[in-house]
Amino acid sequence: MKVNIYYGGRGLIDDPAIFVMNKVISVLDELNIKVKKYNLYEDKRGISVLPKTLKEAEAVILVASVEWMGIGGFLWQFLDACWLYGDREKIKSLYMMPIVLATTYGEKDAQFTMVKAWEMLGGIPCDGICAYVSDTVTFETSAEYAYLIEKKTEGFYRTFSKKLSSLPSSSMAVRENVLKPKTIRLTPQESEQLSMYVSNDSYVRQQKEDIQELTQMFKQMMGDSPEDTGMFEPEEPYIEDFKRAFTPVADLSVSFSWEIREFQRRLILEVDNGKLNCYYGKKDSVDVEIKSTKKVLENIVYGEAPLQTTFMSGELTAKGNFRVLHTFDTLFRFGVK
């Protein structure tokens, strides 16, 4: 038999939850139960794929550290992933023991949250360990507390090993009648594959870019393009404006990338020893990356305000070499009104 433990704390040395978790593991080892521990803080990006590990277990233990309020973000992410990508049929057979240790007020509320969340997922919550710890040393050296932890663990072992039934809960009626999935129903295999995609940052970023491109395309098809509203938008807007405003500076080589949100395009400005190369496209490495809306860019191009003023007001964002950013208004004199 196997038990999975999911630790949602931050891994601090003086976290009493770690002491209790290790004590529980030692008791389960003596009972010949195989234990697999997952520290959620060690792989934050991989939390979304962890629900697939539930298939290996007969029972789970959720461990929370209450440092100021609630069960913490890592455990919330895991429970969210179980709701979105977990195998509901498998979760229905899983017994869950909550362990909550608090160094501030709120351990009872946190335990209730974990139990309610597991019930909503369809699982079987069991009696757990819940305590407030004001002095870590006193708590960890207490033989009486150690005995209570052992007995709680043994009780959990008897519950999941004998597959004891639990009394019905109103959470089941809520889950069946209210918390119905609003999206398409996926098989466990499809949900697991989706969770792997979600944990891949580059995949998610590419998907967002593709969606934005499709949105822009459909807007144009529906008649929201500049041509349909009577406004002609050149294929390469603003390039001529930058060329006219360019003021050469000798012995200066810098480059800018300006992302225009509405267009989902990047305007590249390459300045090399008094010469300007201006085009839409991609450049692997630039000195400064600028991002703004079309309106903000036009305010600068039409001389309403210089780039430095716009940047300081927070209307656009920039990252990279800020010494180079300071040269922008020298290189491009649009003329402030």
Average of pLDDT values for 32-59? 92
Tell me, yes or no, whether 296 and 150 share the same domain: no
Tens-place pLDDT, residues 241-299 = 999 999 998 889 999 999 998 888 899 999 998 899 999 999 989 999 999 999 999 99
pLDDT of res. 201: 56
Angle at which helices 73-85 and 107-121 pack, to 10 degrees? 10
Tell me, yes or no, whether 53 and 124 share the same domain: yes
pLDDT of res. 232: 44
* Residue 27 φ/ψ, nearest 5 degrees: -65, -45
Residue 197 Ramachandran class (φ > 0 left, ψ -120 to 50 alpha, else beta): alpha
Tell me, yes or no, whether 115 and 174 share the same domain: yes
Question: What is the sign of the dihedral through the CA atoms of 113, 119, 84 and 95?
Answer: positive
Mean pLDDT over each residue of the chain, to the nearest integer: 86
Tens-place pLDDT, residues 195-240 = 665 555 555 566 666 676 676 666 666 654 444 444 444 568 899 9
Tell me, yes or no, whether 314 and 175 share the same domain: no
In a domain, 77, yes or no: yes
CB-CB contact of 111 with 83 (8 Å): no
In a domain, 290, yes or no: yes
In a domain, 210, yes or no: no
pLDDT of res. 314: 85
Q: Is 63 helix (H, G, I), strand (E, B) or coil?
A: strand
pLDDT of res. 228: 45
Instruction: Give the range of the structural domain holding residue 8, as residue numbers without chain letter.
Output: 2-195
pLDDT of res. 194: 61
Tens-place pLDDT, residues 143-186 = 999 999 999 999 999 999 999 988 887 877 776 666 655 545 56
**Percent over 70 (pLDDT), the chain:** 81
Domain boundary among 162, 179, 195: 195
In a domain, 93, yes or no: yes
Tell me, yes or no, whether 91 and 154 share the same domain: yes
Tell me, yes or no, whether 12 and 153 share the same domain: yes
pLDDT of res. 202: 57
